Amino acid sequence: MPIITASIDPVTRIEGHLKIDVKIDTVNGVQQVVDAHAVGTLFRGFEKVLEGRDPRDAPIITSRICGVCPTSHGLAAALALDDAFGVLPPTAGLIMRNLVHAACYLESHILHFYVLSLLDYIPGLGMAPWQPGWDVGRRIDARTVQLLQGSYLAALEKRRKAHEMGSIFGGKLPHTPAYLAGGFTAVATSGNKTKFQTYLTELLDFIESTYIPDVEMVASHFSDYFDIGKGHGNLLSYGAFRENPAGSLKLFQAGRRDDGSSSVLPVDTSHIAEHVTHSWYDDSTNALHPAAGDTVPIHPKPEGYSWLKAPRYDGANYECGPLARMTVNGDYSGGVSVMDRHIARAREALKIGQAMEGWLSALPVGQTGYNAAAVPETATAFGLTEAPRGALGHWMKVQDRKIEHYQVITPTCWNCSPRDTAGNRGPLEEALVGVPVAKADQPIEVLRVIHSVDPCLDCATHVMRPGKGGKVYIVDRNGTRETEKTAE
Ligand code: NFE
């Protein structure tokens, strides 16, 4: 049989726009994926938007990179500003940074399992937009499917409540304006602490009584997926949720774990470089550290096939996300697979929710959340944290009190990166190779692997192109309209 090429474009039930091309062939009598390309189909120019701006704008602007992990970008930018301004938050600010960031994790993890992944395993409700859909098989009995569909509907409400909880201190979500250099804008009252606890109790109950059992239920019917979708097997975490201002204590420790090894290696970000050989960026920017990297789009380009760059650590591929965090931290000891990712993510939600209770009770009432600091004349700084989907870094240079240079490496850039200069596949691409496919025209097995890494191409890429005839206004940095033209 000839090799079949299947394109899933766009991949649905993810954030943003991802295209996956797979080659399917029969090997040893099993029809399976033999090669894969992950294509980020949109350009994200936030780094260029930031150049020339006041550094204090960075948390506000970068949180617009994405609607599902805006607090992570706000926090990463604020950490870079702490570093640049030479300031650390007071206890109240540190705790509120954690609580609002953690609220976003709960929202994101619940959303991911129920809304983005579950329908790879059970049919959706018998109406649009759930039908028509791909054939997901009938491994789970009708009564259990009905229970899971009920959890799906409950999850819609719970994830909204997670956002409402975060907005108690964040002011609003998804794009809270509360993260800033030296801390956080809010001041806690005993009333809003109690309100936060009420939401948290309800969400913890849902995670314990519904989310974790539902994931385990699905895993018990799809136990073959503990052996599917491994990829390179290397895991990376920057560590997250500081428990003291300087960050020497964290809920999740930083570290790397290489495939086949049980030892946790340190993370030294000077070993990170972004490859662009197969990305639509100028080759003169290849294999640079993010502090020196640039965003120079070149499209088309002979070897290019994605707007994502390919971050590598000492030239090696690393997967990041809840499984990496939980494994590196010693909280999870399974393997690397589709189901390990789902189970680690659910258990992480519980661990974070329980930690939130401790942070909330330690949150001082009536105390300022930030320490003021002046914008420095010059600085070179970075902020590292973990977004729900994994390792997130912002690198910044300040010159004449303005941002001269900014680079962001998102978790999805690690996970969904294209091939690097050496030709090695990115983590998701590698995880897809060997995946058995029953029906090449409905490769649901491929979708299960893609969804397990929870891609967010919004974080990785962005562009807006006006339709023909659309009015384009070019606005200078002071907000003054300079020119107007008609798009062709
Ligand atoms: Ni748009 Fe994000 C998270 C970040 S993933 S969701 O989590 O950073 O690239």
Predicted confidence (pLDDT) per residue in 115-153, tens digit: 999 999 999 988 888 888 898 988 999 999 999 999 999
Indicate whether residue 63 lines ligand 1 (CB < 6 A): no
Neighbours of 401 (CB within 10 A): 14
CB contact at 8 A, 444 and 328 = no
Q: Which two tokens stand for residue 136?
A: 């997901």
Tell me, what's the pLDDT at 44?
Answer: 81
Q: Is the CB of 69 under 6 A from ligand 1?
A: yes
Kindly give the number of the ligand 1 atom that is closest to the alpha carbon of 387.
Answer: 7
Under a CB-based contact definition with an 8 Å cutoff, are residues 47 and 406 in contact?
A: yes
> CB–CB of 372/56 below 8 Å?
no
Mean pLDDT score, 63-79: 96
Distance 463 CA to ligand 1 centre (A): 17
- What does the pLDDT read at residue 467? 64
In the chain, % of residues over pLDDT 70: 95
Please check whether residue 311 is in contact with residue 273, taking contact to mean a CB–CB distance below 8 angstroms.
yes
Question: Is 322 a pocket residue for ligand 1 (Cβ < 6 Å)?
Answer: no
Give the residue carrying structure tokens 């930083």: 254
Give the separation between CA 308 and CA 417, rounded to whole angstroms.
6
pTM listed for this prediction: 0.94
Q: Please, are residues 462 and 65 in contact by the beta-carbon 8 Å criterion?
A: yes
Q: What is the pLDDT of residue 113?
A: 98
Average pLDDT of the segment spanning 234-257: 97
Q: Does domain 41-435 have CATH number 3.40.50.300?
A: no
Ligand 1 atom with the smallest distance to the CA of 76 is 8
**CA 411 to ligand 1: nearest atom:** 9
What six digits make up the tokens of 229?
């979708």
Q: For ligand 1, pick from 17, 66, 309 the residue to mutate: most ligand atoms within 8 Å of CB.
A: 66
Q: Ligand 1, closest atom to CA 15?
A: 1
**Tens digit of each residue's pLDDT (9 = 90 or more) over 429-448:** 999 999 999 999 999 999 99
- Cβ–Cβ < 8 Å for 308, 429: no
pLDDT at 462: 43
Per DSSP, the three-state class of 179 is strand
Quote the radius of gyration of the chain (alpha carbons, Å).
Answer: 22
pLDDT in tens, 256-286: 999 999 999 999 999 999 999 999 999 999 9
Instruction: Tell me the pLDDT of the chain averaged across its residues.
Output: 94
> How is the chain split into domains, by residue range?
41-435
Least confident of 132-141, 328-337, 390-399: 132-141
User: From the CA of 332, how far away is ligand 1's center (Å)?
Assistant: 22
Apex CA 450: angle with CA 447 and CA 455, to 5°?
130
What percentage of the chain carries pLDDT values higher than 90?
A: 87
